[in-house]
Amino acid sequence: MVIFPVLAKINAYDGMRRGMRLGEALEVARLLEESGCSAIEVSSGTVAEGLSIMRGPELPVEALLAANFRVMKMPAAVKQLLAGLLPVLAPSSPKPYRNYNVEAARAIRKQVSIPVIAVGGIHTLTDVGSAIGSGAADFVSMSRPFIIEPDILRKLQEGRQQGSRCIMCNYCAIMIETDPLRCWHGKLPVNLFPERRGVADIRENQLSSQP
């Protein structure tokens, strides 16, 4: 018989109106443990709600214009309008940008005896230390830090860096709608997408016309 671990990544809350909240997550965690789950990773938010899983200081406007499937279907004039309106009208992502599921992980850890993994904006050794050291989680996991630096663990282990170089621009999360996964570090190379030049040019022009 092959024995292998089964881990479940769950939402602590989904950020939707009348959606799930922590109380329901506690019950889900209890049921997962009861059914033999090996560990629970605690996240939050949904793709539908969007912003709570794309936390960061700026809305990824340029990436949204170039790669979002809804935006891509729009006529150039509408895109141009959107390029101006998005930064003004779109809500900014919720705060904090870092360690935002740690307290939910702590609540879930109190409910179960299987390991609990915290994820979400845990990007530095200090973040790791406080999530695990404070007893909120048994483990942490990271996503964007591995996208920008696949060797991040080695760098942290060897003391070459204290944290990730990720700037939380979230371009990687948007651009996977059209392109292979990679780190864009908050900027699209204009020449890379001749068919989408129009959109990139709009953004470039806007940026260069800013005082």
Ligand X SMILES: Cc1cc2nc3c(=O)[nH]c(=O)nc-3n(C[C@H](O)[C@H](O)[C@H](O)COP(=O)(O)O)c2cc1C
Which of ligand SF4, ligand X, none sits in contact with 121, Cβ below 5 to 8 A by type? ligand X
C-alpha closest to that of 199 among 58, 83, 68: 83
Closest to ligand X by CB, 112 vs 117, is: 117
Dihedral of the alpha carbons of 48, 71, 176, 58, in degrees to the nearest 10 = -70
* Binding map of ligand SF4 across residues 170-189, x = CB under 6 A, - = no contact: xxx----------xxxx---
**What residue type is assigned to position 92 of the chain?**
S
Q: How far is CA 69 from CA 63, 64, 73, 110, 157, in A?
A: 11, 9, 7, 41, 39
Cα–Cα distance between 65 and 201 in angstroms, integer? 11
Q: How far is CA 53 from CA 116, 185, 207, in A?
A: 19, 17, 26
Among 59, 61, 102, 121, binds ligand X (CB under 6 A): 121
Among 39, 148, 152, 188, binds ligand SF4 (CB under 6 A): 148
Closest to ligand SF4 by CB, 106 vs 196, is: 196
Residue 169 in contact with ligand SF4, rule: CB under 6 A: yes
Q: Which stretch binds ligand X (CB under 6 A): 17-25, 85-93, 117-125, 129-137?
A: 117-125
Residue 156 in contact with ligand X, rule: CB under 6 A: no
Per the listing, tokens 């964007």 go with 144
Cα–Cα distance between 148 and 176 in angstroms, integer? 14
Positions in the binding site for ligand SF4 (CB under 6 A): 144, 147-148, 166-172, 183-186
Positions in the binding site for ligand X (CB under 6 A): 9, 43, 53, 119-122, 142-145, 172-173, 176, 181
